Structure 1
Amino acid sequence: MKPGRSCPLDYQIPATAFSGEPAFECDTLYVVGGLYGNEQALVALHHRLLREPLARVVVNGDAHWFDAEPALFSRIEQQLAQYTLLRGNVETELGRPDSGEHGCGCAYPDEVPEQTVDWSNAVHQRLTATVGLIPGMPEQLAARPATALVSVGGQRVAISHGDEQSLAGWQCDRQALRSAERQQQLGRWCEQQQISVLATSHTCAPAALATEHWAVINNGAAGMPNFNNGQYGLITRISVQPSLAALYRAQVAGLYIEAIPLNYDHQAFLAEFDRQWPAGSPAALAYRERITQGTTEQPLDALLGGFTLASTLCALEAHFV
């Protein structure tokens, strides 16, 4: 199978991954997926956490992508070190001794155009060269776990990059989550594992679904725009108290599950992106339009049941929150 579409066997998440004791307990948790090497988004995250110094953070993969210079890659790693770090497909493939066989490891579904797969594999090739220039970095990335189980307000929260079955699984994207069969599958899994929230990322498009007993939230991308109403990333917040900055939220088992806009310095990020990935480069061809213009979707498109917009003002002007 073509690199970028393949799903390596070691991407499978063991059935026991979320059956143990939580790694830690907290009252507020942030889950940050798809930072994609956006240092300005990381700065914005740090500023947000100044308001909630007791909050814990799990970075659930693909923290790197656009940071193709060794100095920037290393600087982002140093800033991430204070958080709980998981592997996404990016980190997993960069950590392989034979990196390249699976390309970016995105396991793209058939409906994703071949050109998109080719661009991603090209970005991965350049990033592989970058990591090779940083002593010990492949091993550092490979050593990260693929999943985390934590306790928020006494409720069990499962965290992965893709879904509960695969590190790069697509079963927490909108299309899958709309399926009644998939919802029943998730309900059985949450009941068996005693999970109240499953937090994921990977698909680059936010999705949120909540029932009376459980919720799934996919933050899309922390380091790129996700919607048509501003140039901001999106992160997940799970807490015993609501946030005034929430874009949308649900309440399950005494927890507020929220999408929080991450309002990074867009001009600074774009300047850095253009310097590393000039016109005609694979990342520029694949991502620059989204970075500068956002997507064609609105926040309501991400809500698949149980979640509501936190406020009209926030929904329309999230980039000013």
Structure 2
Amino acid sequence: MASSEGRSCPLAYRYHPASLCQEASQVSEDVLYVIGGLYGNPFALDEIEQMALAEERQGHRVKLVFNGDFNWFNASDALFRQINNRVLDHTVTLGNVDFELAAPSVGAGCGCAYPDFVDQGVVDRSNRMMERLQALADEHPDIQKRLSGLPRFRCLIFGGLKILVLHGDPESLAGWGLAHESFVAGNDSVLAEWFRVSGADVIASTHTCLPALWSGVVNDRLRVVANNGSAGMGNLRSDTRGLITRIGFTSPLAEPVAGIEHRGLNVSLMPVAYDLGAWLLQFDRLWPADSPAAVSYRYRMISGTSLSPEHIIFPSNS
């Protein structure tokens, strides 16, 4: 019988959609950058910070919000400390990777809760990566303590709208209900119920590593889901750039990969054109050929995915 590690979802990951926006904090900034799946890539973080500076030069105050899995490839003491110290200066929610580094769950493996369509080899390699990172994190108890105090989700009031920032979906930290594959399969009725129960206007997610941008009308109001895929590696065909979610009432300075504009609100998936060559030099030292990370991710880093921009936009079918 195959192990459930990496496929099962720990009970601590669970929450109810009705609880997600019971408490909300006001945002004073003009633009939100929601950054999921940084994956320990310092050069992507450099570029995101430069993008924010460019906005601020135009008078747009930017709030950086990290919604999990900012750790993953950063498997050295120096890089682990660098990434966590830089990220934790901002507004942060946990991803499954960060959760399992702070307080490992028995039998969770990587905590990814991979569905059946994901190959077992991917699951096994992720579990081995997590074991290496957990051993590293144990050498940094101060960072573990800071991670353990982070929330699993946040609700932000931005321009009078409720922006729900989470990692997986509205039922689980590692849920796949907002995955690209779920939108392809048609999940409008589930999405409508999550929006009705939570009261959110926009949901920003990441976890499942492929981008998606959905819009639909629920209770006579436009609702939006933005899944940025990964900020720290390529998301589209022959495109090595990461993606982040930008939310603002001003137009983005650069051309988005995909975007929705409604009554002045712009929700965009913005490319992160980091220094791939510099990152590969560091990645290859940490994860040489035949290592689990190299086997699972290096091809994607240099080639992107099979998706084109038109494949990540999902208008409601209802």
TM-score, normalised relative to structure 2: 0.91
Give me the whole-angstrom Cα distance separating, in 1, the residues matched to 2:13 and 2:26: 21
Q: CA deviation at 1:302?
A: 0.9
* Partners of 1:241 and 1:256 within 8 A in 2: yes
- Whichever residue aligns with residue 167 of structure 2, its letter is H
The reply to whether residue 284 of structure 1 matches residue 286 of structure 2 is no
Q: CA deviation at 1:177?
A: 2.4
The reply to whether residue 9 of structure 1 matches residue 18 of structure 2 is no
1:169 is aligned to: 175
Equivalent of residue 206 in structure 1, options 211, 222, 225:
211
Q: CA deviation at 1:100?
A: 5.6
* Partners of 2:238 and 2:303 within 8 A in 1: no
2:190 is aligned to: 185
2:49 is aligned to: 46
Matches within 5 A, 1:69-148: 69-96=76-103, 98=104, 101-148=107-154
In the alignment, structure 1 segments of 5+ residues that lack a partner are 307-321
| DSSP-derived class of the 1:264 partner | coil
Give me the whole-angstrom Cα distance separating, in 2, the residues matched to 1:207 and 1:173: 7
| DSSP-derived class of the 1:50 partner | helix
- Whichever residue aligns with residue 237 of structure 2, its letter is N
Give me the whole-angstrom Cα distance separating, in 2, the residues matched to 1:85 and 1:250: 24
1:231 is aligned to: 240
**Percent identity over paired residues:** 38
Q: CA deviation at 1:188?
A: 3.4
| DSSP-derived class of the 2:134 partner | helix
- Whichever residue aligns with residue 288 of structure 1, its letter is R
TM-score, normalised relative to structure 1: 0.90
Give me the whole-angstrom Cα distance separating, in 2, the residues matched to 1:251 and 1:195: 17
The reply to whether residue 24 of structure 1 matches residue 33 of structure 2 is no
Q: CA deviation at 1:192?
A: 4.0
* Partners of 2:153 and 2:166 within 8 A in 1: yes
Give me the whole-angstrom Cα distance separating, in 2, the residues matched to 1:118 and 1:43: 31
* Partners of 1:220 and 1:234 within 8 A in 2: yes
| DSSP-derived class of the 1:304 partner | strand
- Whichever residue aligns with residue 8 of structure 1, its letter is P
Q: CA deviation at 1:187?
A: 2.1
| DSSP-derived class of the 2:12 partner | helix
* Partners of 2:26 and 2:158 within 8 A in 1: no
1:300 is aligned to: 310
Equivalent of residue 242 in structure 1, options 233, 240, 251:
251
Equivalent of residue 59 in structure 1, options 43, 48, 66:
66
In the alignment, structure 2 segments of 5+ residues that lack a partner are none
* Partners of 1:44 and 1:263 within 8 A in 2: yes
Q: CA deviation at 1:260?
A: 0.2
Give me the whole-angstrom Cα distance separating, in 2, the residues matched to 1:44 and 1:208: 22
Give me the whole-angstrom Cα distance separating, in 2, the residues matched to 1:287 and 1:30: 24
Distance 1:179 1:111, change over 3 A: closer
* Partners of 1:174 and 1:304 within 8 A in 2: no
Give me the whole-angstrom Cα distance separating, in 2, the residues matched to 1:241 and 1:137: 36
* Partners of 1:152 and 1:240 within 8 A in 2: no
| DSSP-derived class of the 1:6 partner | coil
* Partners of 1:3 and 1:101 within 8 A in 2: yes
Equivalent of residue 215 in structure 1, options 224, 228, 232:
224
